[in-house]
Amino acid sequence: MNRLALAATMSLLLLSACGTSTQDRAISGGAMGAAAGGVAGLLLDHPVAGALLGGAAGAATGALTDENQIDLGKPVWK
């Protein structure tokens, strides 16, 4: 894995989710992951694949953590 992909993955894990419910955290994590993955994928000439992988990883990270582990505040849609 090159340095850019590793940096994108680490950023995704740090910015995984906001909200208190599992659903909120999965949605926000997926959105942030798709954005970060799309940017990383664009730099590697595969933006769609990057967005899909980033979204899946972000949603999973958001759903599998709770607000005591990672808390980015209240979601925008609430």
Over residues 1-51, the pLDDT tens digits come to 567 767 666 665 555 556 678 888 888 888 888 988 888 888 888 989 999
**Residue 63 confidence (pLDDT):** 87
**Residue 70 confidence (pLDDT):** 63
DSSP state of 78: -
Note whether residue 7 is domain-resident.
yes
**Residue 10 confidence (pLDDT):** 65
Distance CA 30, CA 78 (A): 17
Note whether residue 33 is domain-resident.
yes
Query: What is the tally of structural domains in the chain?
Result: 1
Note whether residue 27 is domain-resident.
yes
Note whether residue 77 is domain-resident.
no
In this predicted structure, the answer to whether residue 56 has a pLDDT above a threshold of 80 is: yes
Q: How would residue 78 be classed by pLDDT, with cut points 50, 70 and 90?
A: low
Domain range spanning residue 43?
3-11+21-64
